[in-house]
Amino acid sequence: MTFMNCFSQDCENAKQDVDREANQLEAFYRLSLLIEQKQFELVCEEGKCRLVYMMNDAAESFLVFQNFRIKGRYEPDFSGTPEIWLELGENHYILAVRQGPDNVFTICFENLEVEDHFYNYGEIGHFWVKGYEYLRQLEYRLAILRDKCCYLGEEAASDEERRLAKMADFPPLQCYPAVPDRYRNIPDDPWYVERDTILEYRRLAAQAGDRSLERILKRYEKRPSAGRAKKIARMLRRNAHGKTVDLLAEKLRQAAAIYPDRSFGTVQDTEYQKLWEMGKAEQERLQKAGIHAELLREEPFVRARDSVTYQVYLMIWKKGPVNRRVTVLPLNRS
């Protein structure tokens, strides 16, 4: 091996050591946040033990215990608030968890690593709240993108995603929440908006050639108010501003498309692909009849239990006299 090759190999090994140390530092930082927030959900399978850090349709993030040993019993259905503390032993760490008064277990481990998985969220659709569902899907995708950037850091997202994430906390769009209010974290001042957020929407309206929306956004930037936010919210559902809404949806689809789809194993993937192809065939049939329809899906998480099952939907567009509307057609429900 030449001197240059030896030097390159040494550099590569040093870089791997630095990356490994950075990963471990980040892992213990995230663990400290979970302990502070008293959040604990364990997923043990295939010889690995993972602690859930963040789960949504855009990302599944875990802390993975290295060379671990569990003493006691973890109760996955425990619904209370756990008590969690971390101790340093001799050449290992001890994570102790109390689930209620009668159950304490420990995880002894030598080290901790971050494991992040990113997925395509541009074709995800959840229809938990009725009415103007196409706006609720935008609100949802922007929210999960914002959370991905917030919890996993800017390096977890592309430049375009980071710009789009700034558009999540936009009061006019939040007038169309994707989930019922009881599941929302509503801020003390729901009408507060950052100037950068409004600027992103102004750029979007300008790109779409939507002059009237651009003008009111400019006034909104100078003097934000609940009244102006509600007016913009009404404008977003009108036919006249459809190009702006569609442009935002397309930007999100393109930004999310750089990530892979979830995979659930050969058997389930084959079954799910058949359902998706069935939806595409129906979408093409509608398009031939001059009807625009968007194909979307719900899907479970890959590495953690969850109540969502795989579903395929057609969101069929209808043009009202003033407002745009959609009909949501589930394709694989009895």
Give residue-wise pLDDT tens across range 280-311. Answer: 999 999 999 999 999 999 999 998 767 789 99
Q: What confidence tier does 39 reach under pLDDT thresholds 50, 70, 90? A: very high
Lowest mean pLDDT among 156-160, 211-215, 317-321: 317-321
In angstroms, rounded to a whole number, what is the distance separating the alpha carbons of residues 326 and 249?
15
Q: Which two tokens stand for residue 122?
A: 């541009």
- Closest to 244 measured CA to CA, from 235, 257, 231, 253: 235
Amino acid in the structure at residue 267: V
Amino acid in the structure at residue 314: L
pLDDT at residue 237 in the model: 97
- What is the helix (H) or strand (E) element at residue 114, kind and residue range? strand 111-118
User: Does position 1 have pLDDT exceeding 90, yes or no?
Assistant: no
Q: What is the pLDDT of residues 50-90, one digit of tens each?
A: 999 999 999 999 999 999 999 999 999 999 999 999 999 88
**Percent above pLDDT 90 for the chain:** 85
- Closest to 149 measured CA to CA, from 138, 136, 161: 161
Is pLDDT larger for residue 47 or for residue 116? 116
**Percent above pLDDT 70 for the chain:** 94
Q: Which two tokens stand for residue 308?
A: 């969502």
pLDDT at residue 315 in the model: 97
Q: At what angle do helices 195-208 and 242-256 cross, to 10 degrees?
A: 110
Average pLDDT (4-27) is 70
**Per this entry, what is the length of the chain?**
334
In angstroms, rounded to a whole number, what is the distance separating the alpha carbons of residues 123 and 256?
9
Answer whether 27's CB lies under 8 Å from 112's CB: yes
Q: What is the pLDDT of residues 221-242, one digit of tens each?
A: 999 999 999 999 999 999 999 9
- Closest to 123 measured CA to CA, from 313, 297, 315: 297
Q: What confidence tier does 9 reach under pLDDT thresholds 50, 70, 90? A: low
In angstroms, rounded to a whole number, what is the distance separating the alpha carbons of residues 195 and 15?
40
pLDDT at residue 5 in the model: 65
Q: What is the pLDDT of residues 169-190, one digit of tens each?
A: 999 999 999 999 998 888 889 9
In angstroms, rounded to a whole number, what is the distance separating the alpha carbons of residues 245 and 238?
10
Average pLDDT taken over every residue of the chain: 93
* Whole-angstrom Cα Rg for the chain: 24
In angstroms, rounded to a whole number, what is the distance separating the alpha carbons of residues 131 and 64?
41
